Amino acid sequence: MNVYEIRGGRRLTGECGVQGSKNSALPILACALLCGGEAVIRNCPVLTDVEATANILRHLGCRVRREAHVVTVDSAVIGADDIPDALMREMRSSVIFLGAILARNGRASLSTPGGCEIGLRPIDLHLDAMRKLGAEVREEFGRIVCEAPKGLTGAKIPLSFPSVGATENIMIAASCAKGVTQIVNAAREPEISDLADFLNSCGARIAGAGEGSITVEGVARLHPTEHTVIPDRIAAATYMAAAAVTGGRVRLNSIIPAHLGPEIGVFEEAGCKIETDCRSIRITGPERLRSVKLIRTMPYPGFPTDIQAPVAAMLTVADGASVIIETIFENRFKYIGELVRFGAKIRVDGRMAVIDGVKTIYGANVVTPDLRGGAALMIAGLAAEGVTRVSDSRHIERGYEAPETVLRGLSAEIKRIAEDGKTDPEPPTETERR
Ligand code: UD1
């Protein structure tokens, strides 16, 4: 099991670039299946989830090449319409392939993704939408089989909840359907707009992405394109929380500050100074953070559920009591049991957590429960007195590209110790990586 070892108490200073968005890269890569040729995706983060997506594309018959942050997917020839269990299990969000495989082959067979660390994560909205587009959907022996041998047909699809994954699946499937599809109560996340930009540059006709109602006018086929993935707003906000908790002063480059609106409000309420220009943010943490009255996670443009855990870790050392209500996923407080090991004072009641800020937290041996919970433990480690060991780092590596390199570049004392006990060799600098 890989471990991050952190000696806390160093103020983070300096500047760093921010990786490309994982949540944009995954659906865009899946969608490359529809290009029927060589799609070039730039600014793809180097993450295990991206590798898992590439492996699914390879299984389906695509030729996938990665050179640093550029992934090339050649989907001229496709040989399969299924995703085997083992590949589905590697990454829960592989359900995003449903719309792409169905649109390309007229048939898709996936194993049921099942629950994951943060909740049950049903896919009923995805399946209902495929039915509305004319597919026959069967669930048999733990597999989901969708068939539309004569192709899909556009429809009006109201979503009972603005699910990000369901909105993406519908946009992808409807791009090559006959006629017009309207998604009502669509998700409005920036990753939805990025996917629409990718699809439109392949010849799709999508309007309204980023708003509550999206219209997709089906076209006969898509063509290859080149696309640059947007910066990762979740990684950016995670590094902002890391800077804030150490009372540091950090500038994050190559980001889109407008995507971080709700997070910026919370950092300011906690006493941080935020300065933005069109492609960067500078955050300066105060000597002692202030508590934040109430954070309620909501679909975009509300406060993101993915930043709930990193911000909770930051608030463990704030002056006063903060309240967090998680409304999106039912099991996203698992990391709190681990934060308590640092000496944090937190009570959880159902979907509400009350954090009574303490002056000092202390280094601890903790285990990563899930991706964002893992990031929270690293943030606590940076603030804590003494040494912290965050084990089972594979969750963190699903979503953060070389966080130890980024944080070390900001003066943190952190190293990644591999399973065999060896400290990883000094990784390449950011300029070398990009
Ligand atoms: C995506 C993001 C994830 C983020 C989440 C919410 C990716 C790869 N992941 O996940 O990081 O935390 O959006 O911003 O982009 N739901 C149903 N039925 C469905 C689909 C969803 O009940 O068919 C529920 C889920 O269980 C959850 C809520 O809707 O409670 C939100 O899920 P959704 O927006 O679909 O999240 P994901 O696309 O899975």
What is the arithmetic mean of pLDDT over 406-430? 78
Is beta strand 280-284 parallel, antiparallel or unpaired with respect to 294-296?
unpaired
Task: Say how many Å lie between the CA of residue 420 and the centre of ligand 1.
Answer: 35
Choose which CATH entry (3.40.50.300, 3.40.50.1820, 3.65.10.10, 1.10.10.10) describes domain 3-19+232-433: 3.65.10.10
CA gap 329, 333 in Å, rounded:
9
For the stretch 223-258, pLDDT in tens is 999 999 999 999 999 999 999 999 999 999 999 999
Cα(164) to ligand 1 centroid in Å equals 6
Q: How far is the CA of 154 from the centre of ligand 1 (A)?
A: 23
Give me the catalytic one of 62, 116, 272, 278: 116
Per-residue DSSP letter, 9:
-
Mean pLDDT calculated for residue range 292-300: 98
Note the pLDDT of residue 427.
53
Please report, for residues 251, 264, 401, the alpha-carbon distance to residue 409 in angstroms, rounded to integers and kept in the order given: 12, 23, 13
| Every domain range in the chain assigned CATH 3.65.10.10 | 3-19+232-433, 22-228
Q: How many residues does the chain have?
A: 434
The SS3 call for residue 205 is strand
Spatial strand order in the sheet of 294-296: 294-296, 321-325, 352-356, 345-349
Question: pLDDT (tens digit, 9 = 90+) per residue, 199-221?
Answer: 999 999 999 999 999 999 999 99
| Cα 157 from Cα 414, distance rounded (Å) | 48
Paired with 354 in beta bridges are 323, 347
Which residue type does 309 have?
A
- What secondary structure does DSSP assign to 108-157, as a single string? EEEE----BTTB----HHHHHHHHHTT-EEEEETTEEEEE-TT--B--EE
Q: At residue 391, does pLDDT exceed 90?
A: yes
Pocket test for ligand 1, best of 128, 163, 303 (most atoms within 8 A of CB): 163
Q: What is the pLDDT of residue 422?
A: 67
44 is catalytic: no
CA–centroid distance, 114 to ligand 1, in Å, is 13
Which atom of ligand 1 has the smallest separation from the CA of 162?
Answer: 34
The angle formed by the CA atoms of residues 205, 208 and 212, to the nearest 5 degrees, is 140
pLDDT digits over 75-106, tens only? 999 999 999 888 888 887 889 999 999 999 99
d(CA 425, CA 181): 51
Residues with a CB atom less than 6 Å from ligand 1: 23, 26, 93, 119, 121-126, 161, 163-166, 305-306, 328-329
Note the pTM of the prediction, 2 decimals: 0.95
Res. 433: pLDDT tops 60? no
Band of residue 434 on the pLDDT scale cut at 50, 70, 90: very low
Crossing angle of the two packed helices 233-245 and 371-383, in degrees rounded to 10: 20
Please give the pLDDT value at position 380. Answer: 98
Strands of 313-396, DSSP E: 321-325, 345-349, 352-356, 365-367, 387-391
**Residue of 94, 118, 132, 161 to test ligand 1 pocket, by largest number of atoms within 8 Å of CB:** 161
Task: Tell me the CATH class for 22-228.
Answer: alpha beta
pLDDT of residue 431: 46
E strand or H helix at 382: helix 371-383
**Percentage of residues of the chain with pLDDT beyond 90:** 88
What is the identity of the amino acid at 19?
A: Q
Residue 183 tokens read as 């998604």
Q: What atom in ligand 1 is closest to the CA of residue 49? A: 8
